[in-house]
A and B are shown apart, each in its own frame.
Chain A
Amino acid sequence: MTSLMEFKEVDVHYGPIQALKKVSLTVNEGEIVTLIGANGAGKSTLLMSIFGQPRISSGEIIYRGEDISQKSAHYVASNGLAQSPEGRRIFPSMSVEENLLMGTIPIGMDHAEEDMQRMFELFPRLLERRNQRASTMSGGEQQMLAIGRALMSRPKLLLLDEPSLGLAPIIVKQIFQILRDVASSGMTIFLVEQNANHALKLANRGYVMVNGEIRMTGSGQELLVNPEVREAYLGGH
């Protein structure tokens, strides 16, 4: 397997505070990789640093053989990285279709119609709501919209930041089922989650982050049965 994205000894500072400490991880092509950790472990920081927000203070982020750590966000996005940010962050007063069209910004409108049809097949709920204002939808639908919007730029690597945040368990299940479908089409997914149970079941490999450091790594199954992980993230049962 070839590595699609690789973090090499990445440090990130917020002023005097070090948020990431020598983080190294790899995402191979076609894999689902998850990063789990508690609140404030640095998961979202790691994801945002791919888009240069914040800039890393040392180390390298290699994407398809190129160091992208100092590139601009639009350069990164137009080269096949798409992100569904934490807390969904859809555009509330735009319609569902307009939100999806915003996702085409990195690649232009050439495939917009075709891709929108794909999204509606993937998320039939969005088709029902296509002309509705995004803010009037439920949390789960908004999350679907956020994922759909990210997929509209035809990414090679899909970055997801806590897609289960604030959703009912049954909706979380649905979302993860959709992610499974997306992955089965060959999409590489890097998933940042607090919901370790769902995330590790879905993922091929996982990393556990504690206080800005990678504490553990292994296959999804291994981590799922690891006593330490179970103790910390799965409520010990």
Chain B
Amino acid sequence: MSQSVGINFKKSSIDALVAGFLALILFGPIVGVLLDGYGFSAEFGRVAWMVAIVVVGRFVMSCFFQTEKGVAMAFRYANNDEGATVLSPNHKSKMVWIIPLVILVGLLVPFVASKYVLTVVILGLIYVLLGLGLNIVVGLAGLLDLGFVGFYAIGAYGLALGYENLGLGFWSMLPIAALLAAFAGAILGFPVLRMHGDYLAIVTLGFGEIIRLILTNWASFTHGPNGVSAPLPTLFGLEFKRRSKDGETFHEFFNLPYDSAYKYMFIYLILFAVVWAVLFIKHRLVKMPIGRAWEALREDEVACRSLGLNHVLVKLSAFMLGASTGGLAGVFFATYQGFVNPSSFTFFESALILAIVVLGGMGSTLGVVIAAFCLTVLPEMLREFAEYRVLMFGILMVVMMIWKPRGIVRVTRTGFAARKGAVK
């Protein structure tokens, strides 16, 4: 490099002071004032060390970005241009090796992990399903949906109420709930066909709230805030309870001592299979004309019209497929909790699922899987810091927006190989 890299300490000091001042404004009232009954006490010490951390951190960062390495790093991240990169046609994905390995490890998990770890992983997989569903709507079709939790609730309540009113078990409700959610997706999809961006976001936000309010207030059917209990899955009629009213239970049939972990193992294995099925279907869909049509719609709606794309069909299919995946996730959530009530389906959940899609990288399957695990498993592992969970989400989001605005895994497209007899 021609320009010598000298560190301008004056500039760094000014940066650090500005950051410190902003931190003072931010942390002063939040951390510095402790409510104590009707009065409050000022905690200057805590503010002081928090601001000190910010000042020192900003100073170090500012110095670092003036070094050669820092400049190179800033350049690399600044060069994040729009869109996906196209891979060469004969690009061999490393996934060919990784996928069987992940499946193998995944199948071993229930037999080696403790019950607690298993429940956390199940929750992670449920969010993977939710993320994949929303990824179709937001990531591929570009329709900003803030009410995705509505479909999740329909799936969960579908299982619980279907069992209570119609006596349908887990296995019959799994497809029915997916269809119900898809149907709800179509109902939501029709009126919003003409909407874009902000307006669509507002309507879908309203939809999510309507579902939650119905579940809370239609007490005669949904039992309101008291919630409903949901059934467990059965293995060819064998139940996973301690004792069964009709027929044998799982542990009696296999002469095992009763263990409540069996049901989680079973739920995990079904869920694991369903997640892989959804991953496979999604992977295929993206390469089919319908997947291309979703992406085309996201990129340029006018062009789609001029190509005679049936945008009603394309938008509705995105909504319905996304919704049905959300419905599936809901069924698993209900059976895993054994109980559902409306407080599980607040706007915060929608925001969390959207965060998964955005962090993972819009349209990227692998990214969504990673992000779903990060955002569900990490908070469990860091239970001591539970109060700071939302703060951590916020920091994570800001950091991602700066350094990886396209998400953890950027979407890549595989090029086409020249075909036989093609013009070269």
Alpha-carbon gap, A51 to B301, bound state (A): 14
Q: Does B76 touch A at the CB level, under 8 Å? A: no
Q: Does A135 touch B at the CB level, under 8 Å? A: yes
- Which B residues touch A222, using CB under 8 A? none
Alpha-carbon gap, A103 to B299, bound state (A): 15
Q: A101-B292, A102-B292 are in contact. List 7 more A-B contacts (CB 8 A).
A: A73-B305, A83-B307, A85-B303, A89-B300, A117-B422, A131-B416, A150-B307
Closest 10 CB pairs between A and B? A77-B308, A131-B415, A93-B83, A89-B303, A74-B310, A85-B306, A83-B306, A91-B299, A74-B308, A106-B308
- Which A residues touch B194, using CB under 8 A? none
Alpha-carbon gap, A93 to B86, bound state (A): 9
Q: Does A58 touch B at the CB level, under 8 Å? A: no
CB under 8 Å from chain B, chain A span 113-136: 113, 117, 120-121, 127, 130-133, 135
Q: Is the CB of A91 within 8 A of B296?
A: yes
Q: Does B88 touch A at the CB level, under 8 Å? A: yes
Q: Is the CB of A135 within 8 A of B88?
A: no
Q: Does A149 touch B at the CB level, under 8 Å? A: yes
Contact (A91, B309) CB under 8 Å given A102-B292, A130-B415, A131-B416: no
Which residue in A92, A106, A130 is a CB contact (below 8 Å) of B82? Answer: A92
Alpha-carbon gap, A98 to B300, bound state (A): 14
Which residue in B299, B306, B413, B423 is a CB contact (below 8 Å) of A95? Answer: B413
Interface of A is mostly: mixed
Shortest B392–chain A CB gap in Å is: 31
Chain A residue with minimal CB distance to B303?
A89
Alpha-carbon gap, A61 to B262, bound state (A): 68
Q: Does A109 touch B at the CB level, under 8 Å? A: yes
Q: Is the CB of B83 within 8 A of A92?
A: yes
**30 A-B residue pairings within 8 Å (CB atoms):** A53-B305, A72-B310, A74-B308, A85-B306, A89-B306, A90-B300, A91-B295, A91-B300, A93-B295, A94-B299, A94-B413, A98-B292, A101-B292, A102-B293, A102-B296, A102-B307, A104-B289, A105-B293, A105-B309, A117-B422, A120-B422, A120-B423, A130-B415, A131-B415, A131-B416, A133-B86, A135-B83, A149-B307, A150-B307, A153-B307
Q: Is the CB of A97 within 8 A of B307?
A: no
Interface residues on B, range: 20 to 34
Q: Is the CB of B415 within 8 A of A77?
A: no
Q: Is the CB of A97 within 8 A of B83?
A: no
Q: Is the CB of A131 within 8 A of B295?
A: no
Number of A-B pairs, beta carbon distance below 8 Å: 103
Q: Does B71 touch A at the CB level, under 8 Å? A: no
Q: Does A28 touch B at the CB level, under 8 Å? A: no
Q: Is the CB of B86 within 8 A of A135?
A: no
Which residue in B82, B292, B308 is a CB contact (below 8 Å) of A51? Answer: B308
Alpha-carbon gap, A72 to B309, bound state (A): 10
Q: Is the CB of B305 within 8 A of A51?
A: yes
Shortest B87–chain A CB gap in Å is: 8
- Which B residues touch A98, using CB under 8 A? 292, 413
Q: Is the CB of A117 within 8 A of B423?
A: yes
Q: Is the CB of B86 within 8 A of A91?
A: no
Shortest B107–chain A CB gap in Å is: 36
What count of chain A residues pass the 8 Å CB interface test? Answer: 44
Q: Does A178 touch B at the CB level, under 8 Å? A: no
- Which B residues touch A234, using CB under 8 A? none
Shortest A214–chain B CB gap in Å is: 23
Chain B residue with minimal CB distance to A135?
B83
B residues lining the A interface (CB < 8 Å): 82-86, 88-89, 289, 292-293, 295-296, 299-300, 302-303, 305-310, 413, 415-416, 419, 422-423
- Which B residues touch A89, using CB under 8 A? 300, 302-303, 306
Shortest A85–chain B CB gap in Å is: 4
Q: Is the CB of A109 within 8 A of B289?
A: yes
Q: Is the CB of B308 within 8 A of A97?
A: no
Q: Is the CB of A135 within 8 A of B82?
A: yes
Q: Is the CB of A105 within 8 A of B307?
A: yes
Q: Is the CB of A51 within 8 A of B86?
A: no
CB under 8 Å from chain B, chain A span 29-74: 48, 51, 53, 72-74
Shortest B188–chain A CB gap in Å is: 22
Alpha-carbon gap, A78 to B82, bound state (A): 33
Alpha-carbon gap, A94 to B291, bound state (A): 12
- Which B residues touch A77, using CB under 8 A? 307-308
Shortest B36–chain A CB gap in Å is: 55
Shortest A47–chain B CB gap in Å is: 9
Q: Is the CB of A97 within 8 A of B416?
A: yes
Shortest A40–chain B CB gap in Å is: 18
CB under 8 Å from chain B, chain A span 130-161: 130-133, 135, 149-150, 153
Contact (A74, B86) CB under 8 Å given A97-B416, A102-B292: no
Q: Is the CB of B423 within 8 A of A90?
A: no
Chain A residue with minimal CB distance to B297?
A91
- Which A residues touch B84, using CB under 8 A? 93, 133
Alpha-carbon gap, A103 to B88, bound state (A): 23
